[in-house]
Amino acid sequence: MIPLTHGIVPAQQTPPSFLFGITATTVNVGDTFSLVMYGIEGDVFEIVLGDGVPNVYILPANGILSTTLSTVVDASITVTTTETAAINRFAFSNNNRVIKTVNVTNAGSLTSLKAVCQFQDFLESFVIDDTSNVTDLSDAFKGTLIAQSPPMDTSNVTDVSNMLSSCNFLTDLYEYDLSSVIFMGSYINSCTSLTSTPAFNTPLATDFVGAVSGCTSLICMTSIDTTNQTDTTDLFLFSNSLVAPNASEQAQIEAGFSYVNPSPCP
């Protein structure tokens, strides 16, 4: 996608006042990355690649615009929008797996982080200041190499399916507020380095298919509530090291049960 304008905003125009912002880095200078922005027709955003030169874009009629660019100078990416823009979702496409760090500010307009960094093999950190309106985290960090899941407000999130699946280096799982979640399918599937989980407060969740399957190092869970479940197929499949809950308790959980570990996980 060719930017509509490329260059400094002409002096006779009033520079836009920016609100929502993303700063990110790629692994190396010159890496090509793909960014997809979602919002409303006419929303304006710009990307600066470390050289101070803005690439300015306007969202088309469908409110979705994909850009493919390469970093210059210092491998940095800065994305900003006007104050009137209502960006509701963005994602770094896994067509180019080069994103290393992401920091999102003034993010209150976001309603979805679906696949935001899916399969970004080199992702080390993701920081965001406001996710109070986000409802969808499905596939958000699937297949990344993060060791710690990003802290964030998930009080309104209803879908965490595959959110952290196949994060093979994940050892520290943040205790998210899962009280509004409906879809838990493959939540931490195949997180092979994870040894314990915090409380899963999931009273409304119905889909637990493979939620903690393939966690081959998992020993201890703090709690999980499946009382509202409609499908728990393969919930613990291949998580053969799990001690708490034990096999009998796992069967109860699969049938629908609020499990609370009487002992703290190490």
Cβ–Cβ under 8 Å, residues 33 and 68: yes
- The answer to whether residues 154 and 241 belong to one domain is yes
If asked whether residues 255 and 143 sit together in one domain, one would say: yes
Q: Does residue 62 share a domain with residue 142?
A: no
Q: Is residue 97 part of a domain?
A: yes
Residue 255 DSSP symbol:
H
Q: How far out from the chain centre does Cα 191 lie?
A: 15
In a shared domain, residues 166 and 71: no
Residue 86 shares a structural domain with residue 139: no
pLDDT tens for each residue of the chain, 266 residues long: 334 433 333 334 444 445 899 999 999 999 999 999 999 999 999 999 989 899 999 999 999 999 999 999 899 999 999 877 889 999 999 989 999 999 999 999 999 999 999 999 999 999 999 999 999 999 999 999 999 999 999 999 999 999 999 999 999 999 999 999 999 999 999 999 999 999 999 999 999 999 999 999 999 999 999 999 999 999 999 999 999 999 999 999 999 999 999 999 98
Bridge partners (DSSP) listed for residue 136? 112, 159
Query: 257 and 204 in one domain?
Result: yes
> Quick check: is 266 in a domain?
no
Residue 108 is assigned to a structural domain of this protein: no
Give the pLDDT score at 27: 96
217 CB contacts (<8 Å, ≥6 apart)?
Answer: 192, 193, 194, 195, 241
State the pLDDT at residue 15: 47
In a domain, 53, yes or no: yes
Q: Which of 75, 101, 127 is the last residue of a domain?
A: 101
pLDDT of residue 9: 36
* Residue corresponding to tokens 């899963």: 200
176 and 248 both lie in a single domain: yes
Residue 155 lies in a domain: yes
Report how far residue 216's alpha carbon sits from residue 156's, in angstroms, rounded to the nearest whole number: 30
**Residue 173 belongs to domain spanning:** 135-261
Does residue 175 fall inside a structural domain?
Answer: yes
pLDDT for the residue 18 = 52
Q: Do 92 and 144 fall into the same domain?
A: no
pLDDT of residue 83: 77
User: Does any domain span residue 11?
Assistant: no
pLDDT of residue 2: 37
- The pLDDT assigned to 191 comes to 98
Q: What is the pTM of this model?
A: 0.91
Q: What CATH number should be reported for the domain holding residue 46? A: 2.60.40
Domain final residue pick, 78, 101, 124:
101
pLDDT for the residue 10: 36
Give the chain's end-to-end CA distance (angstroms, integer). Answer: 50
153 and 74 belong to one structural domain: no
Same domain (yes/no): 233, 142: yes
Measured CA angle at 145 (ends 139, 147), to 5 deg: 105
* Per-residue pLDDT, 6: 36
In a domain, 228, yes or no: yes
Instruction: State whether 82 and 153 are in the same domain.
Output: no
- Domain count of the chain? 2
